[in-house]
Amino acid sequence: MEREIITKFLNQTASPEETRQVLAWLEKPEARKFLEDHIKKTWDNSSLRDEDQTDYNKLLQKIHARNSITKSSTRIKEIPWDKTFRVAASIVLLIGSIIFLKIGLEFEEPSLTLTEKVIERKTGIGEKLTLNLPDGTSIVLNGNSSVIFSAGFGDKNRLVELKGEGYFEIAKDSLRPFQVKTERMTTTALGTAFNTIARDGFYAVALTEGKVAIDTGRDKLKLNPGQMMVFDEKDSLSTVKIKPFEIEKVIGWKEGMLHFERVQLKQILEDLAKWYGVDIEIEAGLNVNKRVIGTFRNKNLSDVLTGLGFSMGFQFEIDNNRVLIKKSSL
């Protein structure tokens, strides 16, 4: 049986005649042997340790028990849908079992060891940095942020540790999921795009493409495009929330754009503190409930505060990572 026809069958692009050929072939003893060899080759090429061999053997036993195909005549005039579905589903489950079992074995507790040589990239306040990793993944770091990854990134796993904020466009690799680890959560993706924040007890993941799985240590959840997970340690309830988000508001920083549409000044100042990595103190007496409409493109923090201060009636002082907002004396 040609591999190309088997691949087309699994991808549901085979013609009726090719489907008949595959179904007939699957009832032959050599078909099972071929699948076993293919599975074992995939397993062996995935850098698992010798002690994991028992897991492979257990998996193979389960496959035999689950995927026994009823013997019948090789003359097939019609293809019953239930049989086609059972065979295709068993193969898909078989391959999926390998991938997800391997994920559990290799990525159960991701971390960079103390003896491992690591690379760190960081940004200052108001800076942005684009990184291209060896696997083709692209990372855009927001201001006052950092990522750490192994000098041998991709050899065993694809793991980075993030502080601050970054936008990730992940290169696909089904055997080596990409993981972003922060102080309170780990985000796992196969091939997707998302924004992650981990700053001052505030954690968020906003998904723009694909799917991700998030493990906070207490909650495990998945996101679909357009969904955002938020966890704020300062929240008295300390609960994980999932909500929709506006791309311009959450990810606009990547293109140097800050967009506000009738947003309270208080919320804007909180967002600026996260985006620029600063502590903002608001002097008593300033009305922070006023709403703002505006867009800032490629502006540093001082320029943004100057524009807001002119329209909202406040002055500001910047001292390293601390900002004081006070009512204008004019």
pLDDT band at 215 (very low <50, low <70, confident <90, very high): very high
Looking at the whole model, is its pTM more than 0.75?
no
* Pair 225, 126 in one domain: yes
* Residue range 183-191: mean pLDDT, rounded: 90
Is the torsion defined by CA of 276, 201, 145, 221 positive or negative? negative
What type of residue is 326? K
* Pair 241, 290 in one domain: no
* Pair 127, 241 in one domain: yes
* Pair 19, 86 in one domain: yes
Query: In this structure, is residue 50 part of a structural domain?
Result: yes
Selected residue with higher pLDDT from 150 and 17: 150
What are the distances in angstroms from CA 134 to CA 38, 131, 138, 158, 298? 27, 10, 9, 10, 29
Structure tokens at 321: 């990572």
Count CA within 13 A, CB hemisphere, residue 271: 17
Q: What range does the domain containing 305 cover?
A: 256-327
Query: In this structure, is residue 111 part of a structural domain?
Result: no
Using the predicted structure, report yes or no on whether residue 39 has a pLDDT greater than 60: no
Query: What CATH number is associated with residue 225?
Result: 2.60.120.1440
Residue 300 backbone class (left: φ over 0; alpha: ψ -120 to 50; beta: rest): beta
Query: In this structure, is residue 162 part of a structural domain?
Result: yes
pLDDT band at 305 (very low <50, low <70, confident <90, very high): very high
Query: In this structure, is residue 113 part of a structural domain?
Result: no
Using the predicted structure, report yes or no on whether residue 79 has a pLDDT greater than 70: no
3-state SS, 85-121, equals: HHHHHHHHHHHHHHHHHHHHHHCCCCCCCCCCCEEEE
Residue with tokens 């006023």: 290
The percentage of residues in the chain with a pLDDT greater than 90, rounded to a whole number, is 33
The percentage of residues in the chain with a pLDDT greater than 70, rounded to a whole number, is 68
Query: In this structure, is residue 288 part of a structural domain?
Result: yes
Which pLDDT score is estimated for 16?
67
* Residue range 198-216: mean pLDDT, rounded: 92
Which pLDDT score is estimated for 116?
66
SS3 315: strand
* Number of domain units in the chain: 3
User: Of 71, 86, 106, at which residue does a domain stop?
Assistant: 106
Are the C-beta atoms of residues 167 and 251 closer than 8 Å to each other? yes
What are the distances in angstroms from CA 86 to CA 31, 39, 73, 91, 94? 16, 19, 17, 9, 12
Using the predicted structure, report yes or no on whether residue 204 has a pLDDT greater than 50: yes
**C-beta contacts of 237-242 below 8 A and 24+ residues apart:** 240/216
Query: In this structure, is residue 112 part of a structural domain?
Result: no
User: Of 51, 74, 106, at which residue does a domain stop?
Assistant: 106
Other Cβ atoms within 10 Å of 149 Cβ, number: 23
* Pair 277, 308 in one domain: yes
Structure tokens at 320: 């390293």
Which pLDDT score is estimated for 78?
42
User: Of 67, 86, 106, at which residue does a domain stop?
Assistant: 106
* Pair 76, 138 in one domain: no
Which pLDDT score is estimated for 10?
60
* Pair 8, 126 in one domain: no
Using the predicted structure, report yes or no on whether residue 106 has a pLDDT greater than 70: no
Nearby residues of 74 by Cβ (< 8 Å), 6 or more positions away:
24, 27
Using the predicted structure, report yes or no on whether residue 82 has a pLDDT greater than 70: no
pLDDT band at 44 (very low <50, low <70, confident <90, very high): low
Query: In this structure, is residue 182 part of a structural domain?
Result: yes
Quote the mean pLDDT of the chain.
Answer: 76
Selected residue with higher pLDDT from 255 and 243: 243
Query: In this structure, is residue 46 part of a structural domain?
Result: yes
Are the C-beta atoms of residues 235 and 270 closer than 8 Å to each other? no
Using the predicted structure, report yes or no on whether residue 131 has a pLDDT greater than 70: yes
Which pLDDT score is estimated for 148?
95
pLDDT band at 135 (very low <50, low <70, confident <90, very high): very high
What are the distances in angstroms from CA 235 to CA 166, 230, 231? 23, 11, 8
* Pair 305, 214 in one domain: no
Are the C-beta atoms of residues 49 and 105 closer than 8 Å to each other? no
* Pair 52, 125 in one domain: no
* Pair 150, 219 in one domain: yes
* Pair 25, 63 in one domain: yes
**Alpha-helix residue ranges (DSSP H) falling in the chain:** 3-10, 16-26, 29-44, 53-66, 81-106, 247-251, 265-276, 301-312
Selected residue with higher pLDDT from 31 and 330: 31
Residue with tokens 């049986």: 1
pLDDT band at 104 (very low <50, low <70, confident <90, very high): very low
Query: What CATH number is associated with residue 271?
Result: 3.55.50.30
* Pair 21, 74 in one domain: yes
pLDDT band at 83 (very low <50, low <70, confident <90, very high): very low
Using the predicted structure, report yes or no on whether residue 53 has a pLDDT greater than 70: no
Which pLDDT score is estimated for 137?
95
Q: Taking Cα atoms as reference points, which of 261, 264, 272, 240 lies closest to residue 312?
A: 264
Which pLDDT score is estimated for 61?
56
Q: CA–CA separation, 21 vs 15, rounded Å?
A: 10
